[in-house]
Amino acid sequence: MGQLLEKQNFVFPFIVSEGGRISATGGDESTRSKIIQVLFTSQGERVNQPEFGCGLFNLVFDMNDPILAASVEFTIGQALTRWLFNEIRVEGVNVVAHEEIMLVEVAYIKRNSMATQAVRITF
């Protein structure tokens, strides 16, 4: 019988190492990479999946206030539930807007292991 290998995914952003190999991740790092990919991909950016993404980069010049933070919380929750439903269950999204910084925290449960995880992003 062959050895079972852990499922590998390409890292985001896509990287080719100095040795010419394609960088891949597995486990928790893979899930975090997928979440970040959903958050920072703009809708319309993918040719075959124009609705994919959440588009946080599109908010760079918007007024950073509690109204935007509430809107971003909802948008992130919807996007992650739609695109990563088979891998994670979103437990909560918290967005804090302070001056020119927005702090995003996503709490989730991995469906395959039922482990609780969180991703924090500041931009």
Is residue 15 one of the residues assigned to a domain? no
Is residue 43 one of the residues assigned to a domain? yes
Is residue 71 one of the residues assigned to a domain? yes
| pLDDT score recorded for residue 4 | 41
Q: What pTM was computed for the model?
A: 0.75
Is residue 8 one of the residues assigned to a domain? no
| pLDDT score recorded for residue 98 | 82
The DSSP call for residue 123 is: -
| pLDDT score recorded for residue 3 | 43
| pLDDT score recorded for residue 74 | 92
How far from the centroid of its chain's Cα atoms is residue 80's Cα?
A: 7
Q: What is the mean pLDDT of each run of 10 residues along the chain (123 residues)?
A: 46 61 59 87 88 83 82 92 94 88 89 88 80
| pLDDT score recorded for residue 78 | 93
> Residue 112's domain spans which residues?
24-122
Please count the structural domains in the chain.
Answer: 1
Q: 50 in helix, strand or coil?
A: coil
| pLDDT score recorded for residue 79 | 94
Asked if 104 contacts 56 with a C-beta cutoff of 8 angstroms, the reply is yes
Is residue 13 one of the residues assigned to a domain? no
> Which CATH number goes with the domain that contains 72?
3.10.450.40
